[in-house]
Structure 1
């Protein structure tokens, strides 16, 4: 449907604020049933989803993996996006120069050069994590008690009584690479889930995969399907109730503009939502304030090696003693069938305090540090690393301090005609949760409009 002009204002059924995964999914679910427009402040859609491509290889320089169930997987299937399976790939850890598979606990404890105190510390941390893993998805009474206890405690509790600096470095590294924060910043739940997956079997995660062409393949498709309904460079200043609907003031190409609509879906990070929603109730403002975001510095490298390589079967390597904390191997999803083709794609991640220390450095300084350390892990890459692709992300994965998640249910209900969407609404922030949140918001909007 086309917009209606009235007194210099546009009139639409629904306006979606933000074109990240949740906003794109919300708008897609609405497109055939309502007159919808999407406003995105950036000059590209996708939010934290960004992919750089070279030939048949790609590097996700934003959100890394696709996993879970629900609308995201349905959309990938519906649009025929080929999925590169990560089944049978592994995760490794580099300690004191030795690389071992984390699923082989015996090798981890015996084949790395660690002191007795280091082995005790690693064993204690591992035991605490693995003892909680069976309770993370169960609905039983004991499982709920375990999760409640983890939600009330900081992730740094995993290090309680641990005197090994190496074990502490490993936990901080895992916290940085999976959540972009330090263990003392977050409740234990998210970190235990993330590390538990890495230590056990990533293939147990439903649909754990890499879309061929990168995560941006889907957001590109959704944005293209929306066409002129998606407006980039449209920075929203305020979203306010007006009668039974909403009025949205924004700036595009340096000029103010206004939209009136029956409903709005606000799908932006918590601090942006607090800023553009001036009439937020106190409880909602506090709930948004409880959400924190991880930060990352990422360097991607397209590589030029030929023949089988030692990292081919690994989707990721943790590197707690280096300038980055993890290496993700995007080409792992392409190594399943046929002979190995030349080249590859690697992404090095630093998160939390490690990212904080890198933000103000030049791209050249960051690439120099990362490439030097990457060669200590895989000297086979000498002379085969392409130009480093640097991204600084100051706000990526939502997380909560101890007890912070208790305010979350407040953000799941609409504010009259204004509905909220984002990966912060569900249990474990991910692309799948973002997509589900967007589609849920769209369904609620249509129901409230009697459609």
Structure 2
């Protein structure tokens, strides 16, 4: 990181927040020759990509942990982070899903496609061939599909590529498939419960109910990424991904300052002119401000209140956050004693629910009921990366959700007890091997990163009504704002949550396109569109 920031400074661009999106944006602008300053309120960079030794000898990922979107993302691939010290590691198996507490033969997905097909075929005749067919289709559409998902809205090149490769009829069938609820998608693709539940469990990595339209997209994408590139982890902890991003940004000339909280953004006319710090310092910005913050934080705290008209302000008041997260970090003195030995090699494990159980769990979340039978993601980090803890031990975590409006500490403690009970049922003797345990309640998550409002880690719900042109609010979708040189570069903008860096890339590209005399027509167009859509 850079030396002490002078009390007053100037830069071409100021990036607020050093999460991965902010660092991607800073690197791209610095690569373009801009003088870039990154300001981080916390004492370490990284946002929700950090690790720490919570128990001596055990490295825990504090927030995000497995990174299939990272290795698939063009935004991160273009930065060549492996040249800056990043190394990836994989578990022997990618992901498993225990169907019930007494399941002693849980289905597992492997990086080898033939082994996965054989696993699905063993559980239900014919599903092996169905899996091969789905994967073959994905390989045909992989590039245009990812181009579509990772492009600024509206995407053009990706859909055009899909039409060329599939033809109109098959492209319509694919669109229909991707718009299905996750439960219906699983039933259309597979006949057996094993493969269906792996799709459903992966769909639950987002906060979209399994019976909601388009909830199957996340399940389909993560299943395909699991087979295509696995669920990798950075060797040495999630923080190593951040360290590589910082080194890459600084090698391009960006300056990263920690412990520097932003208070407000000065605005004159249609432009931001300076960024003010809580400690009284300020930085004049000559060309752009990129906010790697939540959308409500940008519009409600940092910018003047009149930047948004009254109608959009009211829409922002109704901004829907994703459901609060409870995360528990475990240090164990032995491998997890799974009832189903098939789970021993899986980096990611889904626990606590079959299809009907997922519906009941979502019903609890939607009726403000703290679940007693929570569905959860469970990460075996030493299994995925042996550097995380001593040989013969396991650094692990469990991750689940509370209902919106029930993110208080007491509800979190109740849910943590239920998580331990579920783990004990799936792995008898689990609690006896725990030598360290740290609970991250929603309040803890928000305290450590203001973007994680009330424990929401996705920058806002992933449901269809707050995606695409509706993210963060209708009429203000994408990285642009009503100001000529302020851009939203966080998960609050499309395509949303996940460690892919595309939100930061989109913001940087928008800033470059709108800059200077060449960007004058783009700025005029953005203003006209904002007036039309925002009123």
TM-score range, shorter chain: 0.7 to 0.9
Distance 1:299 1:380, change over 3 A: same
Distance 1:289 1:43, change over 3 A: farther
Distance 1:320 1:109, change over 3 A: farther
Tell me how far 1:287 sits from its aligned partner.
8.9
Distance 1:347 1:82, change over 3 A: same
Distance 1:59 1:450, change over 3 A: farther
Tell me how far 1:420 sits from its aligned partner.
2.6
User: How big is each residue's C-alpha offset from its partner over 1:25-53, in whole Å with a ceiling of 9 and x where there is no partner?
Assistant: 22233346333222334444322223233
1:79 paired to 2:84? yes
CA distance in structure 1 between the partners assigned to 2:43 and 2:29 by the alignment: 23
Aligned to 1:179, which of 206, 215, 220?
A: 206
Match of 2:96 in 1: 91
Gapped regions of structure 2 (runs ≥ 5): 110-118, 146-160, 188-192, 354-372, 446-454, 519-535
Distance 1:291 1:449, change over 3 A: farther
Distance 1:295 1:155, change over 3 A: farther
Higher relative contact order (CA 8 A, sep 6+): 1
User: How big is each residue's C-alpha offset from its partner over 1:245-270, in whole Å with a ceiling of 9 and x where there is no partner?
Assistant: 423454424x4756443211122122
CA distance in structure 2 between the partners assigned to 1:66 and 1:385 by the alignment: 26
Tell me how far 1:349 sits from its aligned partner.
1.3
Distance 1:235 1:362, change over 3 A: farther
CA distance in structure 2 between the partners assigned to 1:201 and 1:13 by the alignment: 37
Partners of 1:173 and 1:320 within 8 A in 2: no
Distance 1:359 1:171, change over 3 A: farther
CA distance in structure 2 between the partners assigned to 1:150 and 1:427 by the alignment: 19
Other structure's SS at 2:349 match: strand
Partners of 2:39 and 2:261 within 8 A in 1: yes
Other structure's SS at 1:65 match: coil
Aligned to 2:228, which of 204, 209, 216?
A: 204
TM-score by length of 1: 0.73
Other structure's SS at 2:217 match: helix
Question: Of Structure 1 and Structure 2, which has the larger fraction of its residues in strand?
Answer: 1
1:245-256 equivalences under 5 Å are 245-253=271-279, 255=280
Distance 1:142 1:296, change over 3 A: farther
Partners of 1:45 and 1:232 within 8 A in 2: no
Other structure's SS at 1:264 match: strand
Match of 1:13 in 2: 12
Match of 2:62 in 1: 61
Aligned to 2:344, which of 298, 312, 324?
A: 312
CA distance in structure 2 between the partners assigned to 1:13 and 1:199 by the alignment: 41
Distance 1:177 1:153, change over 3 A: closer
User: How big is each residue's C-alpha offset from its partner over 1:357-385, in whole Å with a ceiling of 9 and x where there is no partner?
Assistant: 56432776554433332122122535211
Partners of 2:67 and 2:499 within 8 A in 1: yes
Tell me how far 1:388 sits from its aligned partner.
1.7
Tell me how far 1:441 sits from its aligned partner.
3.2
1:215 paired to 2:238? yes
1:405 paired to 2:410? no
TM-score by length of 2: 0.63
Other structure's SS at 2:64 match: coil
CA distance in structure 1 between the partners assigned to 2:282 and 2:402 by the alignment: 38
Partners of 2:89 and 2:233 within 8 A in 1: yes
User: How big is each residue's C-alpha offset from its partner over 1:63-82, in whole Å with a ceiling of 9 and x where there is no partner?
Assistant: 22222132324343121211
Q: Which moved more, 1:151-160 or 1:315-324?
A: 151-160
What RMSD, in angstroms, separates the aligned Cα atoms of the two structures? 4.7
Distance 1:292 1:357, change over 3 A: closer
Tell me how far 1:352 sits from its aligned partner.
5.3
Aligned to 1:442, which of 495, 499, 508?
A: 508
Distance 1:80 1:71, change over 3 A: farther
Distance 1:52 1:83, change over 3 A: same
CA distance in structure 2 between the partners assigned to 1:2 and 1:334 by the alignment: 33
1:195 paired to 2:199? no
CA distance in structure 2 between the partners assigned to 1:142 and 1:427 by the alignment: 26
Distance 1:200 1:430, change over 3 A: closer
1:118-157 equivalences under 5 Å are 137=145, 139-140=162-163, 141-142=168-169, 145-146=172-173, 149=176
Gapped regions of structure 1 (runs ≥ 5): 111-122, 161-165
Distance 1:65 1:173, change over 3 A: same
1:328 paired to 2:360? no
Distance 1:46 1:443, change over 3 A: same
Partners of 2:91 and 2:345 within 8 A in 1: no
Distance 1:153 1:273, change over 3 A: farther
Match of 1:378 in 2: 427
CA distance in structure 1 between the partners assigned to 2:487 and 2:175 by the alignment: 28
